[in-house]
Amino acid sequence: MTYIQLSACFVAVAVLGGIGFALASRGKGPRPLAVVLTVIVLFLLTAAFDTAMIASGLFHYAQDPLLGVHIGLAPIEDFAYPLAGALLLPALWTAMRARRRVKDRRTLEQEERR
């Protein structure tokens, strides 16, 4: 399996999870502009720090399974992980907040009945 295939699987799971969590958040999913800005910042940080770590010899990649496209010294496959995190984690956060709001509302209604 190549790195790009592994990355594609990882991103696909994150996208499906993100969609599921966004739907579970009852229409109050993550704001698209915030997600896009997060992806941009994470890509810039990934490019900078991966390049620095690869240049300093902290790690290296076998060249055969790589696609061959690099940003700085970072292979394009490295950008799948921040993309997956930026898609999945905000959706998970909003779904958890929506669940907590429902729970708090139910608790409040139960207290009012007493």
Give the chain's domain count. Answer: 1
Would you state the pLDDT for residue 100? 85
99 is in which domain, residue-wise? 3-61+69-113
Average pLDDT along the chain = 89
What is the DSSP secondary structure assignment for residue 86, as one 8-state letter?
A: H
Alpha-carbon distance of 34 to 6, in angstroms, equals 26
Range 73-99 average pLDDT:
91
Would you state the pLDDT for residue 80? 94
Per-residue pLDDT for 52 more than 90? Answer: yes
Percent of the chain with pLDDT over 90: 47
Per-residue pLDDT for 114 more than 80? Answer: no
- Could you tell me which residues come within 8 angstroms of residue 91 by beta carbon, excluding any fewer than 6 positions away? 17, 18, 19, 20, 21, 22, 25, 29, 30
Note whether 7 and 77 are within 8 A (CB): yes
